[in-house]
Amino acid sequence: MIKNNTSIAMPTIGFGTYLISDEDAPKTINSAIKIGYRHIDTAEVYRNEVGIGLGLKDSFTQFSVKRDDIFITSKVFPGNPSWGREVKNYKMCIEACDNSLERLNLDYLDCYLIHAPFCKDHRLEQWKALCDLKKEGKTKTIGVSNYSQSHIQEIISEGLEIPEFNQIELHPWCQKPELVSFLRKKNIKIVAYSSLVPLEGWREKPNQDSAKSLDMKEIGGDKSSPFKRMSAKYGVSEAQILLKWGLQMGYVILPKSSDEGRIRENFDLSFEIDNTDMKEITTMDKGDGVAWPNGDPSNAE
What would the pLDDT profile of 1-50 be if each residue is shown by its tens digit?
Answer: 566 666 579 999 999 999 999 999 999 999 999 999 999 999 999 999 99
What is the per-residue pLDDT for 221? 46
Q: How confident is the model at residue 219 (pLDDT cuts 50, 70, 90)?
A: very low
How far apart (Å, rounded) are the C-alpha atoms in residues 129 and 134? 9
46 a catalytic residue: yes
DSSP code per residue over 117-180: ---GGGHHHHHHHHHHHHHTTSEEEEEEES--HHHHHHHHHTTPBPPSEEEEE-BTTB--HHHH
Give tens-digit pLDDT for 167-176: 999 999 999 9
* The one catalytic residue among 18, 37, 46, 193: 46
Distance between CA atoms of 103 and 140, rounded to whole angstroms? 18
CA distances from 235 to 14, 181, 232 (A): 23, 32, 5
Q: Domains in the chain, ordered, with CATH?
A: 15-290 (3.20.20.100)
- Give the separation between CA 112 and CA 100, rounded to whole angstroms: 10
Give the per-residue pLDDT at 209. 82
E strands, the chain, in order: 15-16, 39-41, 71-76, 109-114, 139-145, 165-169, 189-193, 252-253
Helix pair angle (177-185, 149-157), 10° resolution: 30
Average pLDDT over residues 51-59: 97
Among 119, 126, 159, smallest CA distance to 142 is for: 126
pLDDT class for 220, splitting at 50, 70, 90?
A: very low
208, 130, 90, 100 alpha-carbon torsion, rounded to 10°: 50
Percentage of the chain beyond pLDDT 70 is: 94
Per-residue pLDDT at 49: 98
Measured distance CA(42)–CA(47) in Å, rounded: 9
